[in-house]
Amino acid sequence: MHRYLCAGLVALLLAFAGQSLAIDTEVAFDDPALQHRYETINRELRCLVCQNQTIADSNATLAQDLRREVREMIAAGSTDDEIRDFMIERYGDFVLYRPRMTAQNFLLWSAPVLLLLIAAAVLFRVVRRRAQETDLETEGPEAGQP
Amino acid sequence: MLKLKFVIPLLLFVVLGMFLFVGLFRDPRVVPSPLIGKPAPVFALPSLQDASYPVDSKELLGQAWVLNVWGTWCGGCRQEHDTLLAIAEQGVVPMVGLNWKDDENLARQWLGQLGNPYAVVAVDREGRTAIDWGVYGAPETFLIGPDGTVLYKHIAPMTMDVWNREFLPRIEASRVNVGTRS
């Protein structure tokens, strides 16, 4: 009996847990396509007061204000890029959760490729040297002697 | 040749170590403002003292000025208030307040009780001007040059040390620049 009651309670609590996690509960747009854009952009913008959250995750007043800004810009017909640029102009690249490639961080972006190329070059040289060494061993003057 | 093989990884390690070491002492909460060196965003907002009289940032062109973002809900603002009063006492540059998402009555009460360091206070009830300025946490203090460019931004309560070290030299330099240009 107790067990069923407990399970029922847990189920009830879990049913409400989802709601308590949703921050931005009001639907901003009737048009599902616009609503989808709105939610996508919100998930890409950092809430600078609570730095490890997006503005979709946060209920800080700044996050609310930035969501309002996004909502109004979408309603006014701005493109996603225009909205991102608007935020970057004011808060810098840090506002983006998906960083862009810029002149300053170009080296960082290209680091994986550069490291791969360096590793490949080193590997190539090592392999070639070993091949030469074994060639020398087999073709050396002692190699053919009984 | 053998030496180089050992020196290169060591060098890489030292360089990486230096980056990480410097990173240890950087405050991740201080986000560099992209506005530095750019024209300051313009605003025309109602004044806290007299709502019928708008505060227009364009009227401040031609002189260096300071914009201090504050609110009565902000603990750091209470902390820096005495410093702001002391700075205002110096009378070096006009200090404009931006009252950010605040209750205007509380704001007036605050200035009445603690003293008013501001030449004028603009009311940004909806926080739109604050977004234009890239404000994310009060108190923030901007220095704007006579030509209307943002010269410096301080994020955190103002201290006399920061004022003397970061603001005063830049104010002096901006005056010299204006002098040589005209």
User: What is the 3-class SS of chain B, one letter each residue?
Assistant: CHHHHHHHHHHHHHHHHHHHHHHHCCCCCCCCCCCECCECCCCEEEECCCCCCEEEHHHHCCCCEEEEEECCCCHHHHHHHHHHHHHHHHCCCCEEEEEECCCHHHHHHHHHHHCCCCCEEEEECCCHHHHHCCCCCCCEEEEECCCCEEEEEEECCCCHHHHHHHHHHHHHHHHHHHHHHC
CATH class belonging to A2-100? mainly alpha
Computed over every residue of chain A, the mean pLDDT equals 83
Is A89 an 8 Å CB contact of chain B? yes
Count the neighbouring beta carbons within 10 Å of the beta carbon of residue B16.
Answer: 10
For residue B155, the model assigns a pLDDT of 93
Confidence of residue B18 (pLDDT cuts 50, 70, 90): very high
Give the C-alpha separation, A117 to A90, whole Å. 37
**Which chain B residues are Cβ-neighbours of A121 within 8 angstroms?**
none
For residue B44, the model assigns a pLDDT of 94
A88: nearest CA in chain B? B34
Give the C-alpha separation, A102 to A121, whole Å. 27
For residue B129, give how far its alpha carbon lies from the nearest alpha carbon of chain A (Å): 11
For residue A22, the model assigns a pLDDT of 58
For residue B175, the model assigns a pLDDT of 84
- CB within 8 Å: A61 and B127: yes
CA distances from B128 to A44, B21, B47, B131, B155 (A): 20, 38, 15, 5, 19
Give the C-alpha separation, B174 to B182, whole Å. 13
Beta-carbon contacts of residue A80 (< 8 Å; ≥ 6 apart): A37, A40, A41
Give the C-alpha separation, B62 to A136, whole Å. 81
Residue B73 structure tokens: 């809900």
Does the structure show a pLDDT above 70 at A139?
A: no
Confidence of residue A12 (pLDDT cuts 50, 70, 90): low
Residue B100, Ramachandran bin (φ over 0: left; ψ between -120 and 50: alpha; else beta): beta
B131: nearest CA in chain A? A90
- CB within 8 Å: B126 and A91: no
Q: Which of B136, B142, B155 to mutate to test the interface with A (most CBs of A within 10 A)?
A: B136
- CB within 8 Å: B136 and A69: no
Residue A141 structure tokens: 């003057």
Mean pLDDT across B26-41: 89
Percent of residues, chain A, with pLDDT higher than 70? 77
Give the C-alpha separation, B64 to B79, whole Å. 25
Of the two residues A146 and B39, the one the predictor is more confident about is: B39
Model pLDDT for residues B121-173, shown as the tens digit of each residue? 999 999 999 999 999 988 999 999 999 999 999 999 999 999 999 999 999 99
Model pLDDT for residues A17-57, shown as the tens digit of each residue? 554 555 666 777 889 999 999 999 999 999 988 878 899 98
For residue B178, the model assigns a pLDDT of 61
Helix (H, G, I), strand (E, B) or coil at A96: strand
CATH 3.40.30.10 fits B35-181, yes or no: yes
For residue B182, the model assigns a pLDDT of 44
**Torsional sign, CA A96, A98, A100, A101:** positive
Nearest Cβ partner for B131 among A49, A51, A69: A69
**Which chain A residues are Cβ-neighbours of B33 within 8 angstroms?**
92
Q: Which of A95-104, B40-49, B67-76, B145-154 shows the lowest mean pLDDT across its residues? A: A95-104
Q: What is the dihedral of CA A60, A62, A67, A71, to 10 degrees?
A: 140
Residue A144 structure tokens: 């053919």
- CB within 8 Å: B131 and A51: no
Beta-carbon contacts of residue B56 (< 8 Å; ≥ 6 apart): B43, B44
Give the C-alpha separation, B98 to B67, whole Å. 7
Q: What is the dihedral of CA A120, A123, A129, A131, to 10 degrees?
A: -100
Give me the half-sphere count of Cα atoms (radius 13 Å) on the Cβ side of residue B53: 7
Nearest Cβ partner for A89 among B34, B101, B130: B34
Mean pLDDT across B48-65: 90
pTM score: 0.79
Q: Which of A68, A91, A115 to mutate to test the interface with B (most CBs of B within 10 A)?
A: A91
Please report the number of interchain residue pairs, chain A to chain B, with beta-carbon separation below 8 angstroms: 40
Does the structure show a pLDDT above 80 at B50?
A: yes
Residue B86 structure tokens: 């002391």
Give the C-alpha separation, B81 to B89, whole Å. 12
**Which chain A residues are Cβ-neighbours of B136 within 8 angstroms?**
48-49, 62, 91
For residue B179, the model assigns a pLDDT of 54
For residue A134, the model assigns a pLDDT of 80
Mean pLDDT across A57-67: 91
Beta-carbon contacts of residue A146 (< 8 Å; ≥ 6 apart): none
For residue A133, give how far its alpha carbon lies from the nearest alpha carbon of chain B (Å): 17
Nearest Cβ partner for A48 among B126, B127, B136: B136
**Torsional sign, CA B146, B147, B153, B157:** positive
- CB within 8 Å: B29 and A65: no
